[in-house]
Amino acid sequence: MSWKMKVGVGALLIVVGLVVMLAGFNTKDSVRTHLQDSETFTYVSDSQYTCTDAKAAYEELRAQTRPEASKEDRGSYYLRYSREMVTISQSSGSCTLRIEDLRRLNNGHFIFLGTGFSPGSPSNSSGGTGGSFFGSK
């Protein structure tokens, strides 16, 4: 293989790598981008949208945005992404979609993620501690 051929193959690999990297960056806000571009959802605020049918909205988002996890629980739908949690719930003829920033979890805030998502609270805990190093006695 000549020197020119090696340089050409190297340049091609760099271009392919850049294209793959840019494609990865473009999917970061895919949930919010899809919500803004979709006719199914109506913007209310940065963290809330409305729609007419929760199940249809859930199915659309699952198909178009590929969440890391999804769950249905008693008529509410949960979609977890790397940085966001989407909750879709139906009430009185319309549905509400809420987006929570998962970085809040790392700052000490608690967000109910729905059943089936990890990490959850310990099964033997009532949500608080006894205050001592060894727990309550």
User: Which CATH number characterizes residue 52's domain?
Assistant: 3.30.310
What does the pLDDT read at residue 72?
92
Task: Yes or no: say if 86 and 99 are a contact pair by the CB < 8 Å rule.
Answer: yes
Does residue 95 sit within a domain? yes
What would the pLDDT profile of 24-79 be if each residue is shown by its tens digit? 555 445 788 888 888 889 999 988 999 999 999 999 999 998 899 999 998 899 99
Q: Which domain holds residue 73?
A: 33-112
Does residue 46 sit within a domain? yes
Q: In the chain, how many domains are there?
A: 1
Count of positions (residues) in the chain: 137
Q: The tokens 């199915």 sit on which residue?
A: 59
Does residue 71 sit within a domain? yes
Does residue 70 sit within a domain? yes
